[in-house]
Amino acid sequence: MTASSAPVPERPVPQDSQQAALHAVRHGTAYVIQVTGFLDPASARRLEDDLIRLAAAHPPGLDTAVIDLTSADVTAAAAAALMAAARACQGALTLRAAATDPVLQALRLTGLHDHLVIHPSLDDALNAAQPAGPGQLRCAASVWPGYSLVTVTGECDMTTANQLSSAIIDESAQDIPRVIVALTGVRFLDSAGLIALVRARVRLARQEKSLILVNPGPNVTKIFDLTGADTVFRIYPTLAAAIAAG
């Protein structure tokens, strides 16, 4: 089943450069809030209010909130606000955060990791938010400044390859120069899945757009190596690296 996405309007960047910029989108069954910059107490309260309102509204089909802190600095006061938000979301939404050191250590020192699930990257958090059972493939997509992101989990074979094609084709219609496809959560991909990716790449190239792949797992890498597909696609080890590459 392919999860649909509906972009949430981007927040304006604060005039005070010391404050964090918050950018929010709907990504399949998850609501993602990307935090960039210094998460001061005022910014943290805005984030807390957003999450509390989201938990209260509980939009249909939404079961997870993901806070991307991989490009943020966090104060103790901000961690306290996140703690309040985590408690407010209990029973309504699963709250996940993506963080790296030193933010990761700061969150652990406050005990916040006991109230939400912390992942080392946004890619990992989004994969965990859309688990796929045996024989299933799940694709979630969202539009970000300059690119579309498609995260894929599960098994991509002749019965599910069309879902992958549809997800990428849908994003190719967006007014963006590139589509990033995160394959970290793909357990299996056969020739039908590979053909779907190749055809998507050709379609995007005709529109003068790029298809970028992120972190294919061992099973996917094996078929890439056997077919030489690894020389055809632009492949990055992490989502952060793919985004930074522009």
Domains of the chain, first to last: 21-127 (3.30.750.24), 134-245 (3.30.750.24)
Type and span of the H or E element at 92: none
13 pLDDT band (50/70/90 cuts)? very low
What is the predicted pLDDT for the residue at 105? 83
Residue 204 has pLDDT above 90, yes or no: yes
Sheet containing 21-27: order of strands: 21-27, 30-39, 64-74, 94-98, 117-119
For residue 34, the cross-strand partners are 23, 68
What is the predicted pLDDT for the residue at 16? 44
CB 239: neighbour CB atoms within 10 A? 24
59-79 pLDDT, tens per residue?
999 999 999 999 998 887 788
3 pLDDT band (50/70/90 cuts)? very low
Average pLDDT of the residues in 149-155? 97
Place of tokens 């960039």: 36
The DSSP bridge pattern shows strands 30-39 and 64-74 to be parallel
Helix (H, G, I), strand (E, B) or coil at 76: helix
What is the predicted pLDDT for the residue at 162? 95
Average pLDDT of the residues in 9-29? 67
Stated pTM of the model: 0.87
What is the predicted pLDDT for the residue at 221? 93
Sorted by sequence, the CB contacts under 8 Å of residue 210 that are 6+ apart come out as: 177, 178, 179, 204, 234
Helix (H, G, I), strand (E, B) or coil at 178: strand
% the chain with pLDDT above 90: 67
Length of the chain, please? 246
Average pLDDT of the residues in 130-144? 95
